[in-house]
Amino acid sequence: MNELKQILPKLAFGTWPISGAREWGVFDESETQKVLRALLENNITCIDTAAIYGLGGAESLLGKFFKDVPRKNFILTSKCGLLPADRAVKFDLSSKSLQTQIENTLRRLNTDYLDIYFLHWPDKNTPLEETLTQMDKFRKEGKIRFIGLSNFTEDLIKQAAQITKIDCLQNEFSLLNQENKRLFPLIKELDLAFMAYGVLNGGILSGKYKQMPNLAKTDVRSFFYKFYKGENFLKAQNAAALLKQIHPTSMAQAAINFVLSFEEVTCAIFGAKTLKQFKENAGALSWQLTTEQKELLCKNC
């Protein structure tokens, strides 16, 4: 069995919302420190980040955290391949760029290795073999333990697996977006760990939004998550109502547990800006959906 699947916990803390990225708006750094300090107290031992989150802001924040908390207590992931560009991002998974990227990531994180290093998005301008040869070199050098792919299609995953050993896939999966179910047979065939992101669709499945929000164009909920406008917002409201029916005290926990109810899902990534949000989401591990509850959600969403 894939070693990573045996050590990866069911929940991971995602750091994009607390990175300082304009996509998520302002955050209170003192509150963020409280959240980070609560990780181990709530048995959250995996932290997911990326170099592009806040243009290095998330990694730097974690680097400060690891000055006071033992790095060895956590499974730490980061992602490469997205570089800042004028009003957008640049995709670069070239061997030369990856060498610079990992050095910067390790420095910011105040660590000498990553447990999982993900290719954040495919780069059509760089041969996949060049990219994965470099990633394999990082693994042999001890800079990373496991190689992961994020936002990769079925064809690209198959190609990657023919080049080197791939350990993990990180793609979007939630009650509202179940498109990546089509990857489940391949995940099983290749014995991949699967980390699901977007499990709350930017927070909308927590029941936070009673009315359609007026969002800035730069807000992540305007361009990345697709359920904050028009008919999709109504779909999200209907889904939230079902989640509330299942677990009246926490729709967020019900949404997280829906994702974890699939055997192909190894780990669900959630974010939080406040200690209250964090504790609520982390509490998802205290119970599980029944078969009937899962069927209700699958049938109506």
Our count of domains for the chain comes to 1
Residue 156: which CATH number? Answer: 3.20.20.100
Q: What is residue 260's predicted lDDT score, i.e. its pLDDT?
A: 98
Q: What is residue 220's predicted lDDT score, i.e. its pLDDT?
A: 84
- What size, in residues, is the chain? 301
Owning domain of residue 257: 3-300
Taking 70 as the pLDDT cut, the residues of the chain under it are: none
* CA separation for the pair 281, 208 (Å, rounded): 13
Q: What is residue 273's predicted lDDT score, i.e. its pLDDT?
A: 93
